[in-house]
Structure formats: C-alpha cells, structure tokens
Structure 1
Amino acid sequence: MKYTVVQRGDEVSKQLTERFHQLVQGYGLILDEQSPDLVLSIGGDGTMLQAFHKYVGQLNRIAFVGIHTGHLGFFADWKPDEIEKLAEMMRLQVGNADIPVVSYPLLEIQTITESGMETSLALNEFTLKGVEETLVAQLNINDEMFEMFRGDGICISTPMGSTAYNKSLGGAMVHPSIEAIQMAEIASINNRVYRTLGSSVILPKHHHCDIYPRTKQHMLLSLDHLYVQRGDVVSIRCRVSPDAKVRFARFRPFPFWSRVREAFIATN
C-alpha cells in the first residue's frame, strides 16, 4: 500500500507526521507522494480540502483519511492520541486489494467564460459573490427560469459541505449518501423587481442549475478554499458530478449523525 501525508504545517501536525512515518516503518507501507493509494490529512478541515484538490485528478484510485489537530475536524475520523491505532489498522490492510471505503458525491461546476469553458469539482461548496456591488443573476433549474436573484451571493454545496458555509446560511444538513446539491442564498434582496424563494433548494442527481450573472459583472468565485476574482463569466452550471466521487477510508465506523453531534452539539 502506498501512502502520503498532507499536513497543516503547525508544530503539532509536523510532529504527528514524523511520528506516523516512524510507526509505519516495516509495515509494508510505501511513502509515495506522486501516486498514493491513501492520503492522510493531518490538520483541520482546510487541510483535507487542500489534500482533495492536490489529488483531484486521481480520485478514482485514492482514499482519504484524516487526523484532526484543531478544534473542529468534521472530515477527520481520528484524534492525535489515536495515531498508533490508525497505523496498526492500516498495517492490517496491507496486501488487501480493497481498502474499506465510503464514497460520497461531489459538485461539478462548468463555468463558461468569454474565452471558453472550465470544469471543476468541489468537495464542500462553490460560491459566487458580487465585488463592490450586489450580485445580480438569473437562476435557471433544468433549463427553465426559476428566479431573478439580487443579493450578496449564492452558495452551492455538496451533502458533505451542507455542514459548512451552507449551515451558516440556514441551509439543511443532508446525509452525504444522498446524491444531491443544495443552493442557498446569501443575503438576498426582495422587492418588486427581484423576487427569490428565500430558502435553500435541494436538487437531486440528474438535475442542474444554471447561473447567468449580469454581463461583465465583477465577482468573487470560491471553490472550497480557493478564491479568484473574475469579470468574464457568461454562465455557470452546477450539478452532481456524474463521474467523480470522493472516497474516505473507513477503518472503523463513524456514523454521519454522530459526526454532526460531535461537531455541533456535544460539549465535552
């Protein structure tokens, strides 16, 4: 089994990385940054997002696993004091053809600009916001006009990302086994000209939404933790990716709702 580590860069994460390398020596685990079978993220949720985008071109063969060293690690199954147990469980999988994994849907974004089309994948969410002025955009669902939006912006999230920015916008939490995307408004303005639904919308697989921003509008686009300002966007199509999924190694059970409770409700 080939593995690599993506770590946050703080002292605790660096020390855990070195400790992990020492633990797996002689286990038959091979350090391979170029084409690993397993990517270990040591840090926070942002570290997992970095790991995902670093290896987004190899999703069909890579599984991710996380150790969180911060206050909140929603993507991580493991705590720092469990690193020996994780190393041992990985050792037991050496030689097995199939690592135990769960697969979750991703958001596909097709952006048409004045110079062509770009396709990207998001693990958590994609957002677009107006720069210096409010965002104005027509929203279509399945090629039919749905609403004319004006406000701070729009957030489109995956089920995994429903617990992130989407949650702060009042969106619903969606179990990641459900193949869907969610569209949530960011401070919409409602008057005689611009009318919006006022609540998040969940679209199933095989549905899509198209966003047509006002021509030449200067926008801030975010893809998980990556940000770019653009003024040449013609349209944006969002849908559940028909081809790609993210795989997480599950060396032990960690139910989604238990994860939600630990992240947002538990006080101890």
Structure 2
Amino acid sequence: MDNRRNLYFYYKNDEKLIKKLKPLFAYVMEEGFHIVEDAKDANIIISVGGDGDFLQAVRNTKFRQDCLYVGIAETNKSYLYCDFNIDQYDQMVHSMKNEHLEVRRFPVTDVTINDQATFHCLNETTIRSAVIKTVVIDVFIDDKHFERFRGDGLIVATPTGTTGYNKSASGAVIDPKIACFQVTELASMNNNQYRTLGSSFVLNEDRTLRLEVVQDGNDYPIIGLDNEAYSVKNIQTITVQLSDKRIKTVKLKNNSFWDRVQRTFL
C-alpha cells in the first residue's frame, strides 16, 4: 500500500462528526498519508457513516476503477460496506501501512433507461409505481419474452445488494464472488391474466435483462438507483447488464462478506 498515500474523505457536513474526525485527520497525516480536497487526486476514497454513505461516496466519485474504497462506520452498528469503526481508526491506518489489507471486488450493473442514459449501480435498481396503482412490465431475458409482471414493482440487485431491499422481499443473499444479478418481485399479481414465476431468479454475467413498461396510464414509475430515486417521465424500457466495472474495496483479513452477513443478521 506504500504507493497509495492520497486520501479523500467523504462525510456529512455535521459538526459532531467533524469533531470526531479531527483526530483521524491528524493521525493519518502523522503516518505519512496526504488528505486531498478533490476525489480525482485520491487513490483511496474513505466514506464515513454507514452503508448509505458508502454508496453515495462511490456514486459521487463516479465509480472510480483506479482507486480503492474504504468504509468507516460512525457508530457501533454492523454494516456490510464498512470494515472499520471511527473509534478504531488506528487499526485501519496500521493495516494500510503494513499491507494487512485484502482487496475485494464488488460487481456493478449498467442500467440504461429508454435506450439513452446509462447509470451504474453497486447495490440495486428498483422500479416501482409512483401512484397507488400496480405497474405492468414485460420481462425479457436476452431478447426473449419471459413473463408479464403486474404488481408493485421489481428489484434488480447486485450480489452485495441482495442483503437489503432484496432480502426483505424474500430474495436470496448471493456471494459477491459470483458474477451475476438477481431479479425479485414486489407483490406480484398472479391470476388468469397475469402469471409470473413467483420467486426471485438469478442471471449470469453474460445475460441481458430488458424491462418494458406497458403504457396503461401508469407511465411514471419511480426508478431507484442504489439509494437515489429518479422520477423519469414516460419510461418505456430499462435494460440491465452486469458491468465490466468492479468496485475495489479494502477489508481486514478474516472479515469476509459472510462474516459481515452473520454479524448483521444472525
């Protein structure tokens, strides 16, 4: 890690948090690291807070491929993207200096709306009705029609995204070492007119998922990209593929994804 010395901190502008961070800032500089003001100049980007802050840090720094991301928890709660605690920052710095860190690579999805704008997602993409009315979506896998969905919406989750909203909707938790993404239904209707699989399903990294919104008067669903919501007028299609991008994060040894899942849920 000797060649990675430029640190960029992403955190909320909160007086109490900034006060807690001052000893960390002083410590990393004493240990030979440099704190930069622009994320473009960093080779290690450190988010402080929780999983939501980590997702925002990755999104706001444009899913950098040439740097490492580190998550520091502000509290003693368990998080899936945060390996370190703000009260034990010396452990993080010591590990970086002594190369005790391992690098994990998290899959990312590419999400294209109306065959125009493309976004990246580290966690999940959701499409939900913006009004008290079901949304109808034709689901295609590799250009072959799979099902017509009617219900509250769909979740398309990366492996790391399967532990959140996806899990609460009875989706499976997937090992992030598996290059894939998962589709989970939200309150689907199954009757003589509409018939869905009725369970989540997992697509391999070379698959293409295409969702076509049926224009039946509910043409303004909400699109959630990680923890940001977008209201896009006249959504017609959403195409999801696994990206060739990978978010590189650092972790302590003996602190695997499954260690954190066990710590969080069991």
TM-score, normalised via structure 1 length: 0.90
| Letter of the 2:119 counterpart | S
Query: Which whole-Å deviations, capped at 9, do the CAs of 1:131-155 have from their partners, x for residues lacking one?
Result: 2221111000111000001000000
Matched, 1:64 2:63: no
5 Å matches for 1:31-180? 31-32=35-36, 33-35=38-40, 36-57=42-63, 59-70=64-75, 71-92=77-98, 100-112=102-114, 117-132=116-131, 133-180=133-180
Deviation at 1:251, TM superposition (A): 4.4
Deviation at 1:9, TM superposition (A): 4.1
Deviation at 1:231, TM superposition (A): 2.4
| Letter of the 1:232 counterpart | N
Distance 2:49 2:262 in 1: 20
5 Å matches for 1:184-199? 184-199=184-199
Query: Which whole-Å deviations, capped at 9, do the CAs of 1:91-139 have from their partners, x for residues lacking one?
Result: 345xxxxx74211211110111xxx601111111000011222111100
1:96 corresponding residue in structure 2: none
Deviation at 1:250, TM superposition (A): 2.6
**Runs of 4+ off more than 3 Å:** 8-13
Distance 2:254 2:44 in 1: 18
- Identify which range, 148-157 or 228-237, moves more after superposition: 228-237
1:255 corresponding residue in structure 2: 256
Distance 2:156 2:204 in 1: 13
CA 1:101 to 1:239, structure 2 compared with 1: closer, same or farther past 3 Å? Answer: same
Distance 2:214 2:78 in 1: 38
| Letter of the 1:250 counterpart | K
TM-score, normalised via structure 2 length: 0.90
Aligned alpha-carbon RMSD (Å): 1.7
1:229 corresponding residue in structure 2: 231
Distance 1:252 1:245 in 2: 20
Distance 1:182 1:14 in 2: 38
Deviation at 1:10, TM superposition (A): 4.5
Matched, 1:28 2:32: yes
Kindly indicate whether the alpha-carbon contact (under 8 Å) linking 2:80 and 2:257 is maintained by their aligned counterparts in 1: no
| Letter of the 1:146 counterpart | F
- Identify which range, 71-80 or 218-227, moves more after superposition: 71-80
Gaps of 5+ in 1: 94-98
Distance 2:130 2:225 in 1: 16
Taking only the aligned residue pairs, the percentage that are identical comes to 28
Distance 1:182 1:30 in 2: 39
Kindly indicate whether the alpha-carbon contact (under 8 Å) linking 1:127 and 1:223 is maintained by their aligned counterparts in 2: yes
Deviation at 1:263, TM superposition (A): 0.6
Deviation at 1:88, TM superposition (A): 2.2
1:250 aligns to what SS in structure 2?
strand
Distance 2:166 2:12 in 1: 24
| Letter of the 2:179 counterpart | E
2:222 corresponding residue in structure 1: 220
Deviation at 1:30, TM superposition (A): 1.5
Deviation at 1:12, TM superposition (A): 5.1
Gaps of 5+ in 2: none
1:136 aligns to what SS in structure 2?
strand
Matched, 1:17 2:24: no
